[in-house]
Amino acid sequence: MVVEDKFYNLIFAIFILQFREHDMEKLFFLTFAAIAVISALAVVSVRNPVHSAIALIVCLFQVAAVFILLRSPFLAAVQVFIYVGAVMVLFLFVIMMLDIKRAVITSFLPSGRFWIIALLLLLIGEIVFTLADSKLVDIQMAQASLDGTVMEIGKAMFSTYLLPFEIVSVILLVALMAAIVMGRKEIK
Amino acid sequence: MPDVNTLIEVALIIVKVVIVSMILFSLPLPLTWLERKIAGHIQLRLGPFRVGPHGVLQPLADMIKLMFKEDITPYKADKWLFRLSPIVAMVPAFAVYATIPFGNTVTVPFINKEISLHIADMNVGILYVLAIGGITVYGIMLGGWASNSKYALLGGIRASAQMVSYEIALTFSCVGVVMIANSLSLVDIVHTQKGAILGILPNWNIFYQPLGFIIFLIAALAETNRIPFDLPEDEGTLAAGYHVEYSGMRFAFFMLTEYLAMVTVSVLSVILFFGGWNSPPLVPETLNNLIPPIFWFIGKVAVFIYFFMWLRFTLPRYRYDQLMTIGWKILLPLSLLNILITGLLLI
């Protein structure tokens, strides 16, 4: 009997985090958030533009992970799909053609650009100030389940938010056409 | 005290993950042998024949060779990225299998417990597979860039442009299937393909989505960088493309990724268009009870893998401008048309 108890205790110790769901979530959130902030800082402080792009990819991944913690797997998948899978590939595609050696010499943060840091601190202060004052902090999030969100998003998009949805598509279409027009060679 | 059932669930998931990754890790061994044998027979020669009977031990010999080769990092390479990129390419190839359903639920003897043959049934399954599958391109791009070699860089740039272009057509070709199944979950997609049309034809999506399947197949071939779309590693003009500077195990990781991509594409074709683990309707009931569904699944996947290998030694390679024309001017409009037709038929 005693041996059995010890055995269970051992397993319990291994999986202890598994059973305190909220603590587990907090831990995950803190990990993701910390990595996201660190990688976001790396984006602007690393010298090599390719390394910055990689840091940005890492950051976007963490945001996707936070979406999962917010019970929105659809947004997480779309985040990875569009930002990581397409937008960043195109970024890298352009960066890869740069003359890296020249780009490395000019760095973003140090050397006489302290006003940027000052501006950054100001912005952070503003965010903290508004958040501390706003009602957003007190809102209790509904415990949504992980199922059926895709259908709900689709229904909301095509009924409640139909007009904004259509406006966004028109704007995207215009931007698309503009890109094609600007990218074309002049035909004489 | 933790609940014993939860513990069993956790243990089951770990066991599944380990089994699936072990299988995936060892899968390229028979596949390389098979590819060489098929190449040999198509070109009227024997293929590997020296190591073991009919050369079956050839992949093992190759593996030993690759493991003991010197792992060279070029002097001018970006060392950190150069070492990282084979792993960046390989991890998503494995991660995709987290949501692939291999078969229906089975009852395990001795513990008398029903287990499902997938690691996780996500309600965004197909989106997850496409999103994670698209990350492989970073390994290829960064590998090409970090090598600091002209050929490798050109290969990496070609790969990124090609994969981004074809990903769009690939995704849109899956939309038709999603519309029919009314779900993004791969398990649900397989479940809707049960039964038969008119008692003879299987109720598989290929019969509802022939155009979608053709687009999917072509785009998938381009995504896996195989002939006729293997321009990122075009040995005629780029030596070996993005992996030209790699040797030893890192090179092996790139090869592993490529073979896994082929398997993934075969698996996806079977799940999306060929009914997953569902058996054809004309198979007699007694036989159906004897053969577990996972064998149908594996059989169908094997047919597709053979098909892809067959293509490799049959078709010539496209030019790069032809590749882009096919992707943007033919496949993309056709896939949009496919969505439109599917939508009209479903009303």
pLDDT per residue over B239-291, tens digit each? 777 777 787 788 888 888 888 888 999 999 998 888 878 777 777 777 777 77
Question: pLDDT tier at A22 (50, 70, 90 boundaries)?
Answer: low
N-term to C-term CA, chain A:
91
Q: Which residue among B10, B124, B164 places its CB closest to the CB of A77?
A: B124
Residues in B closer than 8 angstroms to A74, CB to CB, are: 124, 127
CA distance B190 to B197: 16
Residue among A4, A76, A113, A23 nearest B1 (CA): A4
pLDDT tens, residue by residue, A43-91: 888 878 888 888 999 999 899 888 888 777 888 888 888 888 888 888 8
Range of the domain at B227: 69-346
Pick B34 or B77 by higher pLDDT. Answer: B34
* pLDDT (0 to 100) of residue A171: 95
pLDDT tens, residue by residue, B28-63: 888 888 888 888 888 888 888 888 788 888 888 888
Q: CB distance from B87 to chain A under 8 Å?
A: no
For B252, the token pair is 């092996």
Angle between helices B210-223 and B332-346 (to 10 degrees): 150
N-term to C-term CA, chain B:
54
- What's the whole-number mean pLDDT along residues B327-339? 90
Q: Which residue in B5, B7, B9, B188 has the most chain A C-beta atoms within 10 A of its own C-beta, making it the best mutation to test that interface?
A: B7
Q: Which residue in B6, B121, B127 has the most chain A C-beta atoms within 10 A of its own C-beta, making it the best mutation to test that interface?
A: B127
SS3 B71: coil
Of A85-89, A134-138, B64-68, B202-206, least confident by mean pLDDT is A134-138
Q: Which long-range contacts (CB under 8 A, 24 or more apart) does B321-328 make?
A: B323/B162, B323/B222, B323/B229, B323/B231, B324/B161, B324/B165, B326/B218, B327/B162, B327/B165, B327/B166, B327/B168, B327/B169, B327/B219, B327/B222, B328/B165
Domain positions in chain A: 1-105, 114-138, 146-188
CA distance A68 to A161: 23
Only one residue has tokens 């931007």, namely A175
The CATH architecture one would assign to domain A1-105 is: Up-down Bundle (1.20)
Helix, strand, coil percentages, rounded to 5, for chain B: 70, 5, 30
Asked if the structure places residue B84 within a domain, the reply is yes
Percent of chain B with pLDDT over 90: 3
Q: With beta carbons less than 8 A apart as the criterion, state whether B141 and B84 touch.
A: no
Q: With beta carbons less than 8 A apart as the criterion, state whether A12 and B1 touch.
A: yes
Peptide bond into B28 cis (omega under 30): no
**What pTM value is reported for the model?**
0.82
Other C-beta atoms lying within 10 Å of the C-beta of residue A97: 11
E runs forming strands in chain B:
106-108, 113-115, 196-197, 201-202
Domain count, chain B: 1
CB contact under 8 A, A15 and B160: no
Other C-beta atoms lying within 10 Å of the C-beta of residue A148: 10
- Residues of chain A numbered 33-52 and touching chain B (CB < 8 Å): 48, 50-51
The backbone torsions φ and ψ at residue B113, rounded to the nearest 5 degrees and listed phi first, read: -130, 135
Only one residue has tokens 């979530």, namely A25
Only one residue has tokens 């309707």, namely B281
Whether residue A101 is predicted with pLDDT greater than 70 in this model: the reply is no
Radius of gyration of chain A (CA): 23
SS3 B321: helix
Question: pLDDT tier at A170 (50, 70, 90 boundaries)?
Answer: very high
CB contact under 8 A, B135 and A85: yes
Q: CB distance from B6 to chain A under 8 Å?
A: yes
pLDDT tens, residue by residue, B149-183: 888 888 888 888 888 888 888 889 888 888 888 88
B123 Cβ contact partners less than 8 Å away, ≥ 6 residues apart: A73, A146, A147, A148, A149, A150, B183, B184, B185
**Nearest-5° angle of CA A78, CA B232, CA B211?**
55
Residue type for position A65: A
CA distance B174 to B335: 9
CB pairs under 8 A between A and B: 90
pLDDT tens, residue by residue, A108-151: 555 566 777 888 889 989 988 887 777 666 655 555 555 557 77
* Bridging pattern class, strands B201-202 and B196-197: antiparallel
Only one residue has tokens 């149908």, namely B296
